[in-house]
Structure 1
């Protein structure tokens, strides 16, 4: 039997008096609200209401963008090269329901990337990097980073840039909705095209890395009140694209865990510390290290590594 104060319909819920937000979780798309409820003739009692967006149903897949489909309205957020981002509504009177990311035209590489696959652990020795991975990175199609070039050359997303100088710029990452502070997600992109990945970093890059750290922390603090102790700054290896960039994420963003897997994410502070202990000449510590990470079973780099191992056995 329901408690006398428990809401039974929309009319009961409209009597909810909001007090404060208890929690917001971008990963589960939910928010918990504290307040009070009362029915006619009753004293108010404390209540928590948790709102969570329902999962998208696979059986609606063919109908999402049909004439009479699920998505009823979209607003364009940004479009650069082959990448477009929009927000969609399932009804005119609703809050925006989904962020829609479009890649068009999509290559086979994109298809492999977004297809569910098992993970394979790779131990990348300096030799494996020199013999296989470096060549793979060098052959990375320029079209895959054209959207980065568009930003760096002032052709797109200029209104979003939060900081810019001759060495790098900072702007919101496309994953962030620009509203939810707990999921704050920025990216710093360097101008130096010769730094393709973590492996290219040398002690001489310390001024650049320290400047990115300082400016990113300053932007997050000045614009959104997110302090240094509430930020994670990290670099992916292997990254999704080979133009050096640093992720700047609210430390409370649980959705960021997907990009913080062991082996893939390297904290910027740790990278700086490693380089500070390094010699100034010859191969640096990041060229001498063995790096362990995982790749999807469909990843083109994994195929090259396995092919190389087959030749050496």
Structure 2
């Protein structure tokens, strides 16, 4: 193989001698590798990227002779199950499979592609529409969280636990790619259902979460100061207060880190620290929050109806 020619087949590619990883991008599922071709010592970069899943093949993924040839159970709790799948026995695991069963209409709406609408949620809108909407959710919707908090599931995954909260890997993480590290912090206090219910009294809890998450990431994975992005969603995907902890170098809307959804834990703590009120009417009860919401989200119809009545 000459310097001016590229590898043409597997025989050529097998001459590649790996030296180091130049870049790892979990968002695009790609690796950029530096090395040399052995025959003439030519330096080369090879980028490997997993191809997109083909929607046209959807009927064939789980058929008897379908594309998925092997699966391995990762975890199962309440209605959620996570598995890894292989397209062939001798391959690296190809896909992570998340199962929700039984799936409700709310789940279907959540996972259906939707037009996003920006909502300005005033304290009045929260009090009259959003809070009743959240309060109406039955406990069964967060039973999987309850199972973890009470020790019925995922106990082997927990990396930190005390009387106030526990930390464990999020289902989105493959548990081995450090650059896409993703942990979730679940609080034991069932009365905090969203960002709106945080008050100055919760400062010790939030500060402890920040400290312990950083300590765990340092001790278990060697991630130093400034290596983590900690944030809270509003609106969240489920109404039990939790904090997302991800590698600071993992970017992309797939993690819900977009403006109008994610609120940095540091900023939340700072706002509560400068809040002069230590009453039930704190800064997150008084401020207007702006966020994006899918047009089919259960809140949208209620918000639009309320606005129409009060126009």
Paired position in structure 2 for 1:84: 81
Question: What TM-score results when the alignment is normalised by the length of structure 1?
Answer: 0.96
Q: How does 1:17-28 map to 2 (within 5 A)?
A: 17-28=17-28
8 Å contact 1:25–1:254 — kept in the other structure?
Answer: no
Aligned to 2:41: 44
CA contact (8 A) 1:38 1:45 kept: yes
Please say if residues 65 and 71 of structure 1, whose CA atoms lie closer than 8 Å, have aligned partners that are also in contact. Answer: yes
TM superposition shift of 1:254: 2.0
Q: Deviations over 1:189-217 (max 9, x none)?
A: 00000000000000000000000000000
- Is 1:67 the counterpart of 2:64? The answer is yes
Moved more, 297-306 or 6-15: 6-15
Tell me how far 1:281 sits from its aligned partner: 2.6
Tell whether 2:252 aligns with 1:259.
Answer: no
- 4+ residue segments displaced more than 3 Å: 2-5, 255-258
On the 8 A contact 1:220/1:226 being kept in 2, the answer is: yes
Determine if contact 2:17/2:38 at 8 Å carries over to the other structure: no
The residue aligned with 2:124 is: 127
Deviation at 1:257, TM superposition (A): 5.7
2:283 to 285, 292, 306: 285
The answer (yes or no) to whether the contact 2:184–2:243 under 8 Å persists in 1 is: yes
Alpha-carbon contact 2:182-2:245 (below 8 Å) kept = yes
Equivalent residue runs for 1:122-161 within 5 Å: 122-161=119-158
Aligned length, in residue pairs: 310
Q: CA deviation at 1:302?
A: 1.0
Secondary structure at the aligned position of 1:67 is classed as: coil
What is the RMSD of the two structures over their aligned residues, measured on CA atoms? 1.3
**Given that residues 295 and 302 in structure 1 are in contact (C-alpha distance below 8 angstroms), is that contact kept between their aligned partners in structure 2?**
yes
In the TM superposition, 1:196-215 aligns within 5 A as: 196-215=193-212
Instruction: Give the alignment of 1:183-262 within 5 angstroms.
Output: 183-255=180-252, 258-262=255-259
Q: Report the counterpart of residue 15 of structure 1 in structure 2.
A: 15
Which residue matches 1:311?
Answer: 309
Name which of 293, 296, 309 aligns with 1:295. 293
1-side partners of 2:256 and 2:132: how far apart?
A: 25
* Structure 1 range deviating more: 251-260 or 126-135: 251-260
| Structure 2: runs of 5 or more not aligned | none
SS in 1 for 2:133: helix
